[in-house]
Amino acid sequence: MRIRRDEVNCFANLLEARQLISELKKLGCGFTMDDFGGGLSSFAYLKNLPVDILKIDGVFARSIVNDPMDEVMVKSINEIGHVMGMVTVSEFVETDATIDKLRTIGVDFAQGYAIAEPAPLQQQPRSFQS
């Protein structure tokens, strides 16, 4: 088996990222992997980076109510995240039906227009402000 140079560089960068995250976690920082499922290397990153929160790419949530494949993808990602001890968040949650489906699956949190519309921080409830 022959390893390409770009694979070596990717692995080296992944090791450096893992080390940096581990050092920052010792200082109390938490980390989120955003848009999980949207890229080809997502599972390799997930397996190798010590993140705390797994945000499921919104492309799956958008059609989860009507598309069995998207539902299975979200279920799988959610289960993997939970097995790894991560909190899961679904992006692009735009309807109550989507919220209900995500609750049934067991996703921990949701983000999107069905929850709240984007607004400047100054207009957010006091609990979101420092």
**Reported pTM:** 0.76
Residue of 7, 79, 91, 117 marked active site: 91
Quote the mean pLDDT of the chain.
84
**Structure tokens that stand for 113 in this block:** 């227009």
Q: Is residue 3 pLDDT above 50, yes or no?
A: no
The model's confidence at residue 104, banded by pLDDT at 50, 70 and 90, is very high
pLDDT for 10: 55
Closest to 110 measured CA to CA, from 68, 65, 56: 56
The model's confidence at residue 116, banded by pLDDT at 50, 70 and 90, is confident
Q: Tell me which residue has tokens 């958008």.
A: 62
- Catalytic-residue membership of 91: yes
Read off the pLDDT of each residue in 42-59 and give the average, rounded to a whole number: 86
d(CA 53, CA 51): 6
Q: Please report the DSSP string for the chain in residue order.
A: ----HHHHHHHHHHHHHHHHHHHHHHTT---EEEEETSSTTHHHHHHHS--SEEEEPHHHHTTTTT-HHHHHHHHHHHHHHHHTT-EEEES---SHHHHHHHHHHT-SEE-STTT-----GGGS-GGG--
Q: Is residue 8 pLDDT above 60, yes or no?
A: no
pLDDT for 47: 84
Q: Is residue 1 pLDDT above 60, yes or no?
A: no
Q: Is residue 91 pLDDT above 50, yes or no?
A: yes
Q: 71-81: per-residue pLDDT in tens?
A: 999 999 999 99
Going along the chain from its start, the domains and CATH numbers come out as: 30-118 (3.20.20.450)
Sign of CA dihedral 43, 49, 53, 58: negative
